[in-house]
Amino acid sequence: MLPSSPPLLAFCALSFERNDRLLFERVEGAVHGGDILQVVGANGAGKTTLLRILATLLTPTQGELRWCGGLLPRARASYLAELAFLGHVPGLKPGLSPRENLRWLAGLFAQRDAIEEALAAVGLAKWFDTPCAQLSAGMQRRVALARLALTRARLWILDEPLTAIDRAGVAVVEQLFRSHLQSGGAIIFSSHQAVDLPGVKYLALTES
């Protein structure tokens, strides 16, 4: 990769104020293809808020975001085409099975057509057709993570992807991360746990 190519996502001088409280100030960072950035900080430091700003779900009070060099509110369409976001609640319909859930998501996002393999990869081979409401907390998170194996998005933004995941599951997620990074993708995620991957960069949020 040429050093001159712009980063996939760059953000600079971000600050966010809510209810007259300054949450963070002049936060900046950038991810190129192959980069993985972990947002760390104490409870309430603003990790979720930052990730939602990066996903354009919230508007920063100050600062700017650039996607492949283009200023974000304008480049939004092409940004969303290459973004996969996973929030605190993963967006699965409890009444639908994992297979059905991934299928409707596939209709909205560019996805590979390999739903069953993706579910099998996160250890849900026996659960293709059970309504998600009947899965355990960790199994539901795994369904959400299976989406990542399907998406063609280059940037993943993940809020606490390891919540409720057991040890074996963490290894699966790390494997997912690894292959995404190798294929030139980038990851920004928050977690209180460290992941076992080379080259993780950290962005620490401290109370201002």
Partner 1 sequence: MAERRWQWFHRLASPPGFYRVSGRWLPWLAGTSLALLAVGVVWGLLYAPPDARQGNSYRIIFLHVPASFLALAGYYVMAAAGAIHLIWRVKLADVVMSAAAPLGAALTFLALFSGSLWGKPTWGTYWVWDARITSMLVLLFLYLGVVTLRQAYASRETAGRACAVLALVGTVNIPIIYKSVDWWYSLHQPATIRLTAAPSMHPDMFQPLVVMILAFYLFYAWVLVLNVRAEILVRERRAGWVRDLAGEGESE
Partner 2 sequence: MRSPNPEPEALPSLATGFAALLRRDLLLAWRRRGEAANPLWFFAMITALVPLAVGPEPALLARLAPGMVWILALLGTMLAADSLFREDYVDGALEQLVLSPQPLWVLVLARVTAHWLVTGVPITLASPLLAGWLALPAGGVPMLVAGLALGTLTFCLFAAVGGALTVALGAGNVLRPLLVLPLYVPVLIFGTAAVARALEGGDGSAPLALLGAITAVTLAIAPVAAAAALRVGIDG
Ligand X SMILES: Nc1ncnc2c1ncn2[C@@H]1O[C@H](COP(=O)(O)OP(=O)(O)OP(=O)(O)O)[C@@H](O)[C@H]1O
Interface with a second copy (CB under 8 A): 19, 41-48, 88, 123, 134-139, 141-142, 160, 163-169, 192
Query: 12 vs 25, 27, 64, CA distance in Å?
Result: 10, 6, 6
152 binds partner 2 (CB under 8 A): yes
Our separate counts of H helices and E strands in the chain read 6, 9
Check residue 196 and report its DSSP letter. -
Residues in 6-25 at the binding interface with partner 2, rule: CB under 8 A: none
Question: Position of tokens 């001088």?
Answer: 13
- Closest to partner 1 by CB, 69 vs 95, is 95
Q: Give the tokens for residue 143.
A: 């369904």
Of the residues 42, 133, 171, 194, which one makes contact with partner 1 according to CB under 8 A: 133
- Closest to partner 2 by CB, 183 vs 206, is 183
Check residue 75 and report its DSSP letter. H
Beta carbon of residue 163, minimum distance to ligand X (angstroms, whole number): 10
- Rounded (10°) angle between helices 137-150 and 98-108: 40
Contacting residues toward partner 2, per CB under 8 A: 1, 33, 52, 55-58, 68, 77-78, 80-83, 85, 87-96, 100, 103-110, 131, 133-134, 152, 154, 184
